[in-house]
């Protein structure tokens, strides 16, 4: 769209997609909450719901770890155009193709997630996914430091990262919501708010520091994904109240 029509039309396309999604929601999706709470959107009710989430060990812990993973993802999204240009001299449509290719990792990862969850259980899957995003980040950093990181290798590593990022987020979200079935909508909204704002603040604080430097950016990725992976490893299964069946 940018190459053919200019960057302004990106927002036109986004508006069209949003209108399409809104139409689907209005005309094709039915309400699943049979007993909605008329006070659910009152400020006092929402704050009480958010407090309930933060007061629960399981929800609080996985919200923190998912937020750390979001910091890594938004850092990648924000810095990718600059890194591809400064480190590999790739931009324009070529960048768009490579960036798009990494996104297919999400599809592969979610398919694998559905297959292995019943076999390994949710915590083991989270640990494996956390390890994968950490290894992908560490490998990218090491290769950047040694001067062996190329555009194709970087794309492959970010594909691997994406296979497991959404596995981390989706399964963490399940564990965050599970203790609060009566306020699942509020918990889901709070999850989206905290992870998005946390990731955005991380990008704001680091975007000038990284400035397209693949090494500096990689170190940031290692730190954020390392927190997520270490958090999963230190979480005892006995502290998780979740029925695997």
Q: What is the mean pLDDT of residues 208-229?
A: 94
pTM to 2 decimal places:
0.89
Q: What is the mean pLDDT of residues 63-91?
A: 94
Q: Which of 2-6, 134-138, 142-146, 227-231 has the lowest mean pLDDT?
A: 2-6
The mean pLDDT of the chain is: 93
Residue 51 has pLDDT above 90, yes or no: yes
Whole-Å CA distances, 151 to 85, 104, 216: 10, 17, 17
Residue 22 has pLDDT above 90, yes or no: yes
Smallest CA-to-CA distance from 163 within 187, 193, 132 is with 132
Residue 191 has pLDDT above 80, yes or no: yes
Q: Which residue has the tokens 């994904």?
A: 225
Residue 126 CB burial class (10 angstroms; 0-12, 13-18, ≥19): buried
Distance CA 79, CA 82 (A): 6
pLDDT at 38: 84
Distance CA 154, CA 140 (A): 7
pLDDT at 229: 97
Q: Yes or no: say if 188 and 78 are a contact pair by the CB < 8 Å rule.
A: no
pLDDT at 80: 94
pLDDT at 127: 97
Beta strands (DSSP E) in the chain are none
């Amino acid at each position: 769209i940018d190459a053919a029509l200019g960057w302004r039309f990106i927002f036109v396309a986004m508006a069209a997609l949003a209108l399409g999604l809104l139409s689907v929601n209005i005309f094709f999706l039915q309400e699943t909450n049979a007993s909605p709470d008329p006070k659910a959107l009152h400020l006092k009710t929402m704050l009480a719901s958010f407090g309930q989430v933060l007061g629960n060990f399981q929800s609080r812990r996985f919200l923190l770890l998912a937020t750390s993973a979001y910091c890594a993802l938004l850092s990648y999204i924000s810095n990718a155009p600059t890194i591809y240009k400064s480190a590999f001299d790739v931009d324009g449509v070529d960048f768009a193709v490579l960036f798009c290719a990494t996104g297919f990792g999400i599809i592969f990862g979610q398919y694998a997630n559905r297959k292995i969850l019943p076999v390994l259980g949710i915590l083991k899957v989270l640990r494996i996914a956390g390890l994968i995003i950490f290894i992908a980040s560490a490998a990218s950093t090491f290769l950047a430091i040694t001067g062996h990181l190329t555009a194709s290798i970087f794309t492959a590593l970010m594909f691997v990262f994406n296979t497991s990022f959404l596995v981390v987020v989706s399964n963490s979200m399940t564990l965050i919501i599970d203790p609060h079935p009566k306020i699942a909508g509020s918990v889901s909204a709070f999850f989206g708010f905290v992870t998005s704002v946390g990731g955005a603040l991380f990008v704001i604080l680091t975007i000038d520091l990284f400035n397209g430097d693949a090494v500096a950016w990689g170190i940031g990725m290692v730190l954020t994904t390392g927190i997520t992976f270490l958090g999963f490893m230190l979480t005892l299964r006995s502290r998780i109240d979740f029925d695997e069946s």
